[in-house]
Amino acid sequence: MAAVIAGPSRKISAIERGQQKELEATRRISAGGDSIFGERSLDHPTSDLDTLVHLVKGSLGAGILAMPLAFKNAGLSFGLVATFFIGFICTHCVHILVTTAHGLCRTHRIPSLTYGGVAEAAFLNGPKSLRKFCTVAGRTADTSVLDVWTSSHFPERGYIALTAVFILVLCYIRNLRYLSPLSLLSNVLILGSLGICVYYFVQDLPPASTRPDFSSWAQLPNFFSTAVFALEGIGVIMPLENNMKDPTNFTGCFRVLNTGMCVVISMYCAVGFYGYLKYGDIVKGSITLNLPEGEVLAQASKLMVAMAVCFTYPLQMYVPVHMCWPGITRRLGWNEIEWRGPFQPEHVFRFCCVLFTACLALAIPELDALMSLIGAICLSAAGIIFPAVIQTVYRHDTLGPFKWILLKNSAIILFGLVGMVTGVYTSILQLAR
């Protein structure tokens, strides 16, 4: 009888031991006993390292090569300080967005929320459609800039059409976990290109006294727009956080967000500072375009950038598809249909998005003006203004002593509005010329 009892007992213990890791992960995700995040249903969850790679790729893109141009519009010393400041503001806005999302998830017992879902839950009947429009428009316009960026490194505009074909194949990948190797490869290519740029930077570097510490007030809007375009990766934040094994590891002093953004901001400042110091007022929209023509190393740097931009496309395209496609399927009554086969309706939607951005890139081939316009309209709203508004609405009854949260967010909103209005004005003037 004892043997009969002991047998099942040992079997149950083995099962429990086999499930122990999953239970421990659920406890970690639960954040102090709240198991709402453990209810997420993820087919291919990403680890902290995978998320960090995607975050760096989403923030450390080809935009870093435009930072010398941003410094040209700001001045050497002022550009350095202002870039750190804008980077701090952008990182803080991501923090308040994610912490607000976590608070809303616990309040409403929802495992995860998209960016539009955070706005909807915070406002209840608030402007969800406007919030989603700015994020989707920002990411879609980003991909148009990437098309222009790729073609600008080569003499033929037909390269936009050629790269669009290659990008169509890459956008067939729908899973963030499978996109991680592409993001890692893109990071390596960008870093390799930056290494070559630094090699040229340090040769015959002029003294800092040859560059102005401050440019002019009229050029500051272009600096703001370009810097925000380069630094702002707000569009990929919520999809990345929603796909994590342990979303509570995203924020925190030495967690995914702060680690990634510290690396990104430092590199942006270094490239902007030394790129402008080297080339001065002749700096172009992408610093690689200032490299010597005809040298193998310089051409290799341009090729690396073009390849990295192509590999960036699937991650950037993931965001508008992630936000738009579920709504499209609901409207068409396809949400209950399980599509099978290698070619599905979502692939058609992805291909249409790629073709749209390619056409937009052909229509507006001015790289620096396009970056400034997108940074001013979409990314300053999506990355700076809306997170502050959402937190203010969510914390309306707990604004802290002297309502410091309201005062802080009001200053952030004002900063974003001034940058957006002035940036749009100067960008339109530049495009008109």
Q: What is the residue-level pLDDT of the chain in tens, covering all 433 positions?
A: 444 334 443 444 443 444 444 444 444 444 444 466 666 767 778 888 888 887 887 777 667 888 998 999 999 999 999 999 999 998 899 899 888 888 888 888 888 887 777 877 777 644 454 445 445 444 444 444 444 444 444 444 556 666 777 777 777 777 777 777 887 888 788 888 888 988 988 888 899 999 999 998 888 888 887 888 777 666 667 778 888 888 888 887 888 888 988 988 998 899 999 999 999 989 987 888 888 888 889 888 888 887 887 787 777 777 777 777 777 887 877 766 676 766 778 878 888 888 887 777 676 656 566 666 666 677 777 788 888 988 988 888 888 888 899 999 999 999 988 888 887 777 777 666 6
Position 38 in a domain: no
Position 231 in a domain: yes
Q: Cα separation of 121 and 187, whole Å?
A: 35
Instruction: Quickly list DSSP for 307-334.
Output: HHHHHHHHHHHHHHHHHHHHHHHHHHT-
Classify burial at 153, counting beta carbons within 10 Å of its beta carbon; exposed 0-12, middle 13-18, buried 19 or more: buried
349-to-317, 322, 345, 346 alpha-carbon distances in Å: 11, 11, 6, 5
Closest CA to 98 of 358, 374, 383: 383
* Separation of CA 107 from chain center: 27
DSSP tag of 35: -
Position 31 in a domain: no
Position 218 in a domain: yes
396-to-105, 194, 400 alpha-carbon distances in Å: 17, 45, 10
Which range of residues forms the domain containing residue 315? 43-330+341-432
CATH number assigned to the domain comprising residue 123: 1.20.1740.10
Position 100 in a domain: yes
CB atoms within 10 A of CB 3: 6
Tokens of 328: 């499209």
Query: Total domain count for the chain?
Result: 1
Position 185 in a domain: yes
Closest CA to 115 of 146, 138, 148: 138
Q: Are 101 and 120 in contact (CB under 8 A)?
A: no
pTM exceeds cut of 0.85? no
140-to-133, 136, 187 alpha-carbon distances in Å: 10, 6, 21
Position 109 in a domain: yes
Tokens of 65: 């090569």
Q: For residue 164, give the amino acid letter.
A: A
Position 10 in a domain: no
